[in-house]
A = this chain, B = another copy of it.
Amino acid sequence: MHSERVASRSADQRDSPRESRNGSPTLDAVSLAIIQQLQEDGRRPYAAIGKAVGLSEAAVRQRVQKLLDQGVMQIVAVTDPLTVGFRRQAMVGIHVEGDVESIADVLTDMSEVEYVVMTAGSFDILAEIVCEDDDHLLDVINKRIRALPGVRSTESFVYMKLKKQTYMWGTR
A114 to chain B, nearest CB (A): 5
Complex formed: what's the CA distance from A113 to B84 in Å? 23
A172 contact set on B, CB distance < 8 A: 111-112
B-contacting residues, A68-106, CB 8 Å: 72-79, 81, 83-85, 87, 90-91, 93, 101, 104-105
Query: Is A164 part of the contact surface with B, judged by Cβ < 8 Å?
Result: yes
Of B22, B84, B158, the contact of A32 (CB 8 Å cutoff): B84
Complex formed: what's the CA distance from A113 to B113 in Å? 22
**Interface size of A as a range:** 35 or more
Given contact pairs A123-B157, A164-B108, A76 touches B38 in the complex (Cβ within 8 A):
yes
Complex formed: what's the CA distance from A125 to B83 in Å? 18
Complex formed: what's the CA distance from A113 to B167 in Å? 10
Interface residues of A (CB under 8 A from B): 20, 22, 24, 26-27, 32, 35, 38-43, 72-79, 81, 83-85, 87, 90-91, 93, 101, 104-105, 107-108, 111-123, 126, 130, 155-169, 172
